[in-house]
Amino acid sequence: MSKVVLRSRNPRQRRLMALCGAGLAMVLVVAAAGTWAWGRYANVDRVDVDLEAVSKQGPSNYLVVGSDTREGITSDAAGSGAFLDTAEQQSGHRSDTLMVVRVDPSKKAVSVLSVPRDLWVQIDGEGHRINAAYNDGPQAVIDAVQENLGVPVNHYVEVDFVAFQRLVEAVGGVPVYVPAPVRDRNSGLNIGAKGCVMLDPYQALAFSRARHLQYQEPDGTWSTDPTGDLGRVTRQQIFLRRALSRVSKLSVTNVGAFDTLGSTLTKTVTLDQDLSLRTLLALGRRFRSFSPDDLQTSVVPTTDDTLSSGAQVQRLDEAAAPAVLAPFRGEAPQQAPVDAGPQPEQVSFELLNGTGRDGLAASLATEFERFGFVSTGVGNPAGGKVDQSEIRHGPDSKPLAELAASYFVTPVDLMEDDSLGPGEVQLVIGTDFNRFDWPKAQAAGSDAGDPSPDEAADDEAAPGSAAPASAPAPPADPVGVAVGDPPPGVTCG
């Protein structure tokens, strides 16, 4: 059993709820479903809120709210103990978890900022825990994040416990590794044997909500993880990555999974009025091969404080906060995955029809756009009909040309052309042309349900990042008993 690891600074910072990971994972599943999702998605609950303006350049911030509502969950439902934790019942509605998910399609980067629910903030001039803002509605939550943290919100996504359950159901469960039996009598978690176990929807939620985790020692006695929420965050981060890995492997042939997703979207997810299916499909396509290991996570830095009433709260750590919040404010660059490499959306192409067949250029350009490349127009090569297809590129754009060439089934020549600028290529289609297709390395994970070109063209995002005001903070060490990932040499799921 991995024992408690204590951090040297701000030991109560890390809180990432896998419930909110459901919202992030749904983007990938919706993208795989493609146009199938149109009918279902049209019925998703919407909320009319004021958001920061978005543009077609740079990253955007999604405020993902995990509601603590138990609506729709009955005491006689299977596994209801994982939902109806009477010890945590409270009046009104609270946001069980707040996350800001920053997505930068150009870098193929996703970063998650967890906002501690006990963070003490000013709401309408009065002090409150930030999770209490949800009791006044989504706009109050958005305003609390923007006004107290200086982090712009471009889109709003809200999920609840039932959404979490149905997501796990859609992916067929989430595998985790436990080095010893574990339990949590408050959340309902009960895993009685060591090894790899597939968490069903009920145990998955119990796992992600476990704040009173106990693990069995070799002599049969039980020990308790004393870190509470902090240990839960460590396990939630592991769970989130493992859940995303399951989503990324989902095939569009799994109709049942998409039907479950469609029902989840329409019944348990609320989105802002401007978040279109077109945007989700475009994002999902760009992040089709995103590795869960590349997910960057951070937490709003806080310090412990006690109010005059005796209540325990968290105060914003004014010294540490700027470095952590800078990427989400657009004041520092967002870290890109190390091995992301060139991406189709970085390539602007002009397609020249040299086949001798009239009217082919437009249809081929549309087909190539389907993979995420950006069309700048069509035409014919100066020499008319050509035998060998080729891709022309500028002096510094060969890697982008090689990426484009990987989508040609028939080999294509690469030609340097000084007249072309950065990111620009010309696709000269010759009589030898066969067709476009996903590269072999991606074929297994590239499903047929891609968005149409006009759907993918709307790449909504927030204003681009400015020059760094401060370096991003390094990732913090984990806290608590780490359960979920298998040891080296052991495969789990």
pLDDT average per 10 residues of sequence, the chain (493 residues): 36 34 49 50 82 76 75 49 45 62 82 86 93 90 96 89 76 88 91 92 85 90 80 72 72 57 66 80 66 78 90 92 94 73 84 92 90 89 91 92 94 93 92 86 39 36 39 53 77 81
Question: Cα 182 to the chain's mean position, in Å?
Answer: 28
> Which residue, among 284, 232, 271, 262, has the nearest Cα to 25 in the 3D structure?
284
pLDDT of residue 238: 78
Sheet holding 182-184, edge to edge: 189-191, 182-184, 214-216, 222-224
Query: Is residue 151 within 8 Å of 64, Cβ to Cβ?
Result: no
User: Rounded to two decimals, what is the model's pTM?
Assistant: 0.62
pLDDT of residue 322: 95
Instruction: State the Cα–Cα distance between residues 124 and 117, nearest whole angstrom.
Output: 18
pLDDT of residue 329: 94
479 token code pair? 């806290």
Instruction: State the Cα–Cα distance between residues 109 and 287, nearest whole angstrom.
Output: 9
Residue partners of 8: CB distance under 8 A and separation at least 6: none
> Which residue, among 347, 417, 349, 416, has the nearest Cα to 378 in the 3D structure?
349
Q: For the chain, how many residues are written?
A: 493
The sign of the CA dihedral 155, 103, 238, 262 is positive
Residue partners of 188: CB distance under 8 A and separation at least 6: 79, 81, 82, 85, 202, 203, 206
